[in-house]
Amino acid sequence: MGRKYKFNRYVREARSEPFDLELDDGQEISIPAPDGDTVLEIEESRSSRRTLELLTGDYFDQVYELVRHEPASVLNGLVADMADHFGLAAAPPGGTRASSR
């Protein structure tokens, strides 16, 4: 008989700590870990803006204001760090092709 896997193990080992982003003024944004449905939406989004929106949830407007006028590498680095923190597959915002917004 093959090996059995226990679902509870995945739940116990999940990376669920929030992503705490410290701002220059000392404030902190604490972004909660995405759930499974959100991760699936992120993978299907193919849009940098939508990926950021899904990752940051209620904090999108605040995070968007931080990155909107910065070089693209700021957005890419932030999203990569969030993906790493939450244990998501590493992919640039919007997937592997540029957004056509």
pLDDT tops 80 at residue 79: yes
Q: How confident is the model at residue 77 (pLDDT cuts 50, 70, 90)?
A: very high
pLDDT in tens, 50-69: 999 999 999 999 999 999 99
Dihedral sign computed on CA atoms, order 90, 95, 98, 100? negative
- Would you kindly state where each structural domain of the chain is located, as residue ranges? 7-86
**pLDDT for the residue numbered 95:** 53
| Cβ-defined contacts of 77-80 (< 8 Å, 24+) | 78/21, 79/51, 79/52, 79/55
Q: What is the mean pLDDT of the chain?
A: 88
